[in-house]
Chain A
Amino acid sequence: MHGIAGMIARRLGQLVPVAIVATFVVFSLVFLMPGDPAIIIAGEYATPERIAEIRHLHGFDQPMLIQYVNWLWKVLHFDLGTSLYSSEEVARLIVDRLPHTILLVVYALILGAAVGIPLGILAATEQGSTLDKIITTTASLGVAIPNFWLGIILVTFFALTWRIFPATGATPFWQDPVEAIYYATLPAIALSTGVVAVLARQVRSALLEVLGSQYIRTLRAKGLSSGAILWKHGLRNVAATMLTITGLQVNRLFSSAVILEAVFAVPGVGSLISYSALNKDIPVVQGIALMLVIMVILTNLLVDVLNAILDPRVAAST
């Protein structure tokens, strides 16, 4: 187990520099964006004096590096600041909105795995057949389809025409889990197509590789049933691949969630970050960036730990 503990320590150690790099990159991008948030803060009541007043009030007139260091200093004291436009604390904003995005992502992962893995197994065991071809083609479709387009089509049919699901909106999970899942179903389906596609393909090819290997041939020769081979040996080896892929999908899913949240009017962090980025609400963007980076790194770490438990050789190399 020393290998795993060492790996965890190493990766957590990497977390800090990576987080600093990521947040600095984001900060400079948003900072360098032309545009003056003071104008937006002044709103309908903008006058040149008021705008100058606001700039001074928020310290916009200071050099970029100083503003970044200020932010970093506050973060180290667990203060993520307040949004420029809504005066709400950034931490509060994230805590209120993140669960919606996480629900979508987790839901999509579960759906994707529940559909993709069986499809992959089926395709591998029926390799070469029509079923295999259909599954492979569907997998290709899943990666090529624009998620939000699929989402809109789902809404048009399943929500507007046949009123099976609600068209848009979301309920917080802690408030009413059943309703939350009900609302999240259509967007999760739209979000999951990529996961289904990738998992189906990867599970299929990994399984084929394993099933065709010498080791399995030996087992077969010894008289083990196909079912036993599949379950005990085939899937065990494939599990590592599945985990890695699932972990990698998280980042991608957060990405797609940005647009899907816009389509389905889900008040998650995805919709918040694009609005905030474009309007230079720097505290919010920085806060979300930091949180996303931490989450993605921790998710990857979790995946790698699980992998290492399944296959100790992996711990040594990551």
Chain B
Amino acid sequence: MRNGSGRMLPNITRRAMLAGTAALGGSLLLPAQVRAQAAQPVKGGTLRVAMPFNPAALDPLTGRNNPDFNSLFAIYDALMDFDPNTLELKPGLAKSWEFTDPTTLVLELVEGVEFHDGEPFNAEAVVFHLDRCTSYARSNVKSDVASIDKVEATGPYQVSIKLKNPDASLPAALSDRAGCIVSPKSVKEAADGNVDRNPVGTGPFKFVEWRDNDLIKVERNTNYWGDEPYLDAIEFRIINELNTASRAVTAGQADLALNLAAQQIAVARRDSNVVPEAAPSLIYYTSFLNYKDGPLADVKVRQAMNWALNREDLNRVLMLGLGQGHCSMFPTGFWANDPETENYYTHDLDRAKKLLAEAGHPNGVEIETWTWPDQAAVQRQEVISSQLAQAGIRLKVTPAPPAQAMQNFLTDKKGHQLLSPTGGLPDPSITYDRQFSGNAYRNAGGIELPGFRELMDASLSTFDQESRKKVMYDLQRFVLENALHLPQYLSAGMTVRTPKVHEFVFGLLNRPKFHKVWLEA
């Protein structure tokens, strides 16, 4: 069938692309930084960013989704900074921190910093902020700082945080939303303390305006406490549709597009004027399972499901090969990921059927499944259903918008599994806690299998990095052996940019920082 000229790839290239050959996948998985940069940074220019999601709020405490972060780190600094590719913590607004004992964290703050509204940044401001995290009615980060008991200013630039229990993940939490310090003055002056739409932080850029679902504009903070940023300003244009966002870069209307999907990368690759990038991400696609009631209470059934999946195919078809098709919750190379158990489950239909038979389902089993109704989610569900069906596991799927699906499965405990992406959290302990702890919202059954709690607590009370890593490995093995969920594949952080944009890194958490980004003239 004839159609527009020039836009169709010849057959072979497309087949190769869709088959996800190594030539495609390999070179794209390197973080952008590693490629040689010969040019010298240039000051000036407005970076035009296209992103598909309108933030829920620009107050780090009241926002709620990962993509909100695209603009947050331009406006706010967090107490801790982090390396975007390893998540190793670095000094931020706290120039150093130390656990003086397992339940006391002491922060030494940077001096001479001012908020965008001129107010001084000091221990008092941090105390005010952390108290707000725990007590503000609209604060969504209470669970991040749940371990905090009391925060005190023990010096003009020193803060002591007393914890209810040991929490080795707290510094990482303080590199994230909870640690993005909001100007106390702005909160006190705002009606109802609501600064959702008028953010004031200490970041390299100052907030200028936010036209809802249209544009967020920030400009250089000439009073920045660190090196001044190279960019004059950043315009975040909100373009709800992914193809449109990507096309904005190809057409020259934007310099950078964020949060894209595999299709846009595939299309952008045809254009030699833009640079598509797909780097490892902490977001993974899985199913939340109810392992307390129903057919999934039997570990053999859960294991059978895990053996029935062909994760490489899932990665190839759904991510066009740009993700990682293994069963860990973390990408290959991440410190908390155990390479030995990364492929604990491989594609083994016989094993799946055998386990099902042992579990008392020789003729297969039906699993009631919730999924979201958008095309990408539906597509995922179709491939997974088809794979599981080959082992006799039949999915009875009900699509519903996220509010309904989550209410039905997680609140009302109806059905057996919910297909959903998750992850993207700054510390692995938080990731395990959010999904598998007894009181975790995403744990539909609400139970913890024996052995989990000890490992979970150990991950929070082990402070030595090497020992903590071993605990993480144990946790990974525990989750996999008990098949607590149905991991499918890891996502990738996908962006498209023009070659004029330098030093941009999307990072594992997809939380970009624009401090060092510069635009070629």
Contact = CB atoms under 8 A, between A and B. Distances in A.
Interface of A: 33-37, 39-51, 53, 57, 85-88, 92-93, 96-97, 156-157, 160-161, 163, 166-169, 262, 265, 267, 271-272, 278-280
A166 B137 CA distance: 44
Which of A36, A44, A85, A161 gathers most chain B CB within 10 Å? A44
A-B residue pairs, 10 tightest by C-beta: A43-B64, A35-B404, A161-B4, A35-B403, A168-B244, A265-B241, A265-B244, A45-B140, A36-B407, A88-B212
14 contacts: A34-B408, A35-B407, A36-B403, A39-B402, A39-B403, A39-B406, A43-B63, A43-B140, A45-B140, A87-B196, A156-B3, A167-B243, A167-B251, A265-B244
A87 B64 CA distance: 12
Interface in B375-403: 400-403
Contact of A86 (B4, B213, B239): B213
A161 B2 CA distance: 13
A45 B244 contact: no
B113 interface: no
Interface of B: 3-7, 54-57, 62-66, 137-138, 140-144, 194, 196-197, 211-214, 238-241, 243-244, 247-248, 251, 253, 400-404, 406-408, 410-411, 424-425, 439-442
Given A86-B57, A169-B253, 19 more contacts: A39-B407, A41-B64, A44-B424, A45-B143, A46-B410, A46-B441, A47-B142, A47-B440, A87-B56, A87-B57, A156-B3, A157-B4, A160-B4, A167-B244, A167-B247, A169-B239, A265-B241, A279-B403, A280-B403
Contacts of B6: 161
B441 A48 contact: yes
Contacts of A35: 400-401, 403-404, 407
Contacts of A160: 4, 7
Which of B4, B138, B141, B212 gathers most chain A CB within 10 Å? B212
Given A35-B401, A265-B244, A57 B4 contact: no
A160 B7 CA distance: 8
Contacts of A92: 212
A83 to B, nearest CB: 8
B239 A265 contact: yes
B140 A40 contact: no
Nearest to A160: B7
Contact of B141 (A45, A51, A157): A45
A161 B5 contact: yes
Which of B243, B253, B408 gathers most chain A CB within 10 Å? B243
Given A168-B243, A265-B240, A267-B214, A87 B194 contact: yes
A45 B243 CA distance: 29
A104 to B, nearest CB: 16
A43 B140 CA distance: 8
Contacts of B62: 87
Nearest to A39: B406
Contacts of A48: 411, 439, 441
Contacts of A87: 56-57, 62, 194, 196-197
A290 B176 CA distance: 40
Contacts of A279: 401-403
A43 B4 contact: no
A40 B56 CA distance: 10
B240 A271 contact: yes
Q: B-side binding surface: helix, strand, loop or mixed?
A: loop
Contacts of B140: 42-43, 45, 50
Nearest to B3: A156
B404 A34 contact: yes
A41 B138 CA distance: 10
B261 to A, nearest CB: 15
Nearest to B62: A87
Contacts of B239: 168-169, 265
A45 B56 contact: no
A47 B437 CA distance: 11
A45 B144 contact: yes
A194 B238 CA distance: 31
B401 A86 contact: no
A47 B441 contact: yes
Contacts of A45: 64, 140-144
A266 to B, nearest CB: 9
Contacts of A47: 142-143, 439-441
Contact of B137 (A41, A53, A169): A53
A97 B238 CA distance: 13
Nearest to B66: A44
Given A57-B138, A169-B239, A267-B240, A43 B56 contact: yes
A70 B400 CA distance: 28
Contacts of B404: 33-35
Nearest to B251: A166
B65 A44 contact: yes
A184 to B, nearest CB: 14
Contacts of A169: 239, 244, 248, 253
A90 to B, nearest CB: 11
Contacts of B7: 156, 160-161
Contacts of B440: 47
Nearest to B424: A44
Nearest to B238: A267
Nearest to A167: B247
Nearest to B55: A86
B172 to A, nearest CB: 15
Contacts of A41: 56, 64
Contacts of A53: 137
A275 B424 CA distance: 24
A220 B425 CA distance: 83
A92 B138 CA distance: 22
B54 A86 contact: yes
B407 A34 contact: yes
Nearest to A83: B212
Nearest to B240: A265
Nearest to B267: A160
Contacts of A271: 240
A34 B54 CA distance: 25
A280 B64 CA distance: 17
Contacts of B137: 53, 57
A161 B3 CA distance: 10
A51 B411 contact: yes
A86 B212 contact: yes
B518 to A, nearest CB: 26
A86 B197 CA distance: 9
A287 to B, nearest CB: 13
Contacts of A97: 213
Contacts of B424: 44
Nearest to B243: A168
